[in-house]
Chains A and B, each alone.
Chain A
Amino acid sequence: MEFRSLLAAAGGGDQAAWDAIVNEFSTLLWSIARSFRLDARDASDVVQITWLRLVENLNRIEEPDALPAWLVVTVRRECMQLIRRANRQQLTRHVEVLDDMPDPAPPVDHALLTDERDAALWRKVAELGETCFRVLRVLMATPPPSYKDAALALDMPVGSLGPTRQRCLRRLRELLTGKEGGAER
């Protein structure tokens, strides 16, 4: 995708160019927000403020090729700030979540989970520790993010992403087969 011309067009008010950017990155931003186990309302807020920030900065982004990195870092920061604020403010709706961390799998319409194997996967992914849940949830975005962008979203060195993914998938298999291995982060 050619970000330079899209950003320039969007900066001039071209809705189609803007929508092309939105469509390209929406699931990645959503996946990052959900990787922090934010509920739908909070995830929507952090994704929306990321887009508003981009509009605000349309004519200020000096390196258009860095657009994915800019979006990914912005949404990650907003997620972390929201979690920090929520922890401080002890808002009732967050306290519920904090009380039973790790958060169980988000509620889902059971009709969508008729396949037993899918249901097991859905449950076991949610049982993963923080690092593994975040890594896999970010990499599950459609289209899959580049390792470079995923590493930025996860704030980890790009070189450790592959090995971490491998370890987390192994851990997920252990959970699925009931063979609990050693401690996992």
Chain B
Amino acid sequence: MNDEEMMSTLRRLYARLDPVPPNVVHDASRALETRRLDEQLAELQLDTAEEFAQVRGDQEQVRLLSFQRGEVSLEVQLEYQDDLVTVRGLVEGLSGTAELDLGEERRRLPVDTDGMFTAEVPRGAARFRLAAPGGVAVITQWVLV
């Protein structure tokens, strides 16, 4: 077998034994429904899982994310316990409602008077939506939590 024949054999083998699972294609197709045109995107400014990964050898279970859009900021603390993630958020620069978008599921997050909320979610893709009544709506970029 020359190299090309070998690659073809491997390609056929893996297409049969390790194909893209149908649910992955299905979810990809449905991802278009998450399009939001009328909301401002808050970008991820900080992810401690990235910042300190190289220099800290500890087994820190808490991860901090920070999003910002103009005056609005969202600080999120993620605590991992097996497959569950405890989310604690602090909203500043906007008072209103918060929602957690998990792709297939959306959850309303009760925000207290200090701008804080908590939730427990499964690991996976997530983003937050913050909205002031009748006013500005900010949505964070997607992150894997």
Query: A residues bordering B, Cβ < 8 Å?
Result: 10-11, 13, 15, 18-19, 22-23, 26-27, 30-31, 34, 40, 43-49, 51-56, 58-59, 78, 81-82, 84-85, 87-93, 106, 108, 112-113, 118, 121-122, 125, 136-137, 139-142, 144, 165-166, 169, 172-173
Interface size range on B against A = 35 or more
Is there an interface contact between A89 and B80, defined as CB atoms closer than 8 Å? yes
Contacts of B50 in A (CB 8 A): 81, 84
Would you call B125 and A88 a contact (CB within 8 A)? no
Contacts A48-B125, A84-B49, A91-B82 known; A22 to B29 CB distance under 8 Å? yes
Q: Which residue of A lies closest to B31 (CB)?
A: A51
Given contact pairs A40-B21, A48-B27, A52-B103, A122 touches B13 in the complex (Cβ within 8 A): yes
Contact check, B10 vs A56: say whether CB atoms are below 8 A apart. Answer: no
B29→A49 contact, CB < 8 A: no
CA–CA, A78 and B37, complex, Å: 24
Is B34 at the interface (CB under 8 A from chain A)?
A: yes
Inter-chain pairs besides A45-B125, A140-B7, A142-B15, 15 sampled, C-beta below 8 Å: A18-B29, A22-B25, A26-B25, A45-B123, A49-B125, A52-B31, A58-B35, A81-B49, A88-B56, A88-B60, A89-B59, A121-B13, A165-B3, A169-B3, A169-B6
Q: How far is the CB of A22 from chain B (nearest CB, A)?
A: 5
The complex places the Cα of A59 from the Cα of B36 at a distance, in Å, of 11
Q: Assess whether B53 is in contact with A44, with CB atoms less than 8 Å apart.
A: no
A44 near B59: Cβ-Cβ < 8 Å: no
**Cβ contact within 8 Å between B125 and A52:** yes
- Asked if B9 CB lies within 8 Å of chain A CBs, one says yes
Number of A-B contacts (CB under 8 A): 135
| B23 on the A face (CB < 8 A) | yes
Chain A CB within 10 Å — which of B23, B63, B83, B125 has the most? B125
Interface check B93, CB cutoff 8 A: no
- Would you call B144 and A136 a contact (CB within 8 A)? no
Q: How far is the CB of A181 from chain B (nearest CB, A)?
A: 16
Distance (Å) between the CB of A120 and the closest chain B CB? 11
Docked-complex contact B28 and A84, CB < 8 angstroms = no
